Amino acid sequence: MRIISQNGLLDAPYELIAISPYSGNMATIVGTFPGNDIGKGDRVYILAKYSTEEKAMKAMEMCREQYSQCEFNKLVIPKTDENLAKVSISLTGNAVNQIAEKYVFQFPADDEI
């Protein structure tokens, strides 16, 4: 799954980023990447800022739910590919788009929570 920051400037694989509220301001969500260079620390990026801690926690919950759906799809899709082949192309395209949406999560704006 891909994680996209609220402002759209960071796009990273979920598997390579640790997501958490920032300890200095719990309404800010940060993503931490392990440092690649010896002697250099982890890289931290702001993923989203919210007006309240509750909204930040809700956004974190939304991200976890999206990841769960993504993992579920990885298990189910291989078992349904034969059935999709029998469906019309227009319906298949819609199904593919709906499934693809589950593989990307962008942190929503403050007013969208």
Q: Which pLDDT belongs to residue 93?
A: 59
Q: With 60 as the cut, is the pLDDT of residue 103 above it?
A: yes
- The tens digit of pLDDT for each residue in 43-101 reads 889 999 999 999 999 999 999 999 998 888 777 766 655 665 666 555 555 666 666 67
Q: Which pLDDT belongs to residue 45?
A: 92
Q: Which pLDDT belongs to residue 43?
A: 85
For the chain, give every domain's residue range.
Answer: 2-107
Question: Could you tell me the strand order of the sheet in which 2-4 lies?
Answer: 11-13, 2-4, 104-106
Q: Which pLDDT belongs to residue 84?
A: 58
- Residue 8 phi/psi, 5° resolution? 80, 5
The model's pTM: 0.74
Residue (of 71, 56, 67, 73) closest to 110 by Cα position: 56
Q: With 80 as the cut, is the pLDDT of residue 13 above it?
A: yes
Q: Which pLDDT belongs to residue 49?
A: 96
Q: With 60 as the cut, is the pLDDT of residue 24 above it?
A: yes
Q: With 70 as the cut, is the pLDDT of residue 6 above it?
A: yes
- What gap in Å lies between CA 23 and CA 42, rounded to an integer? 15
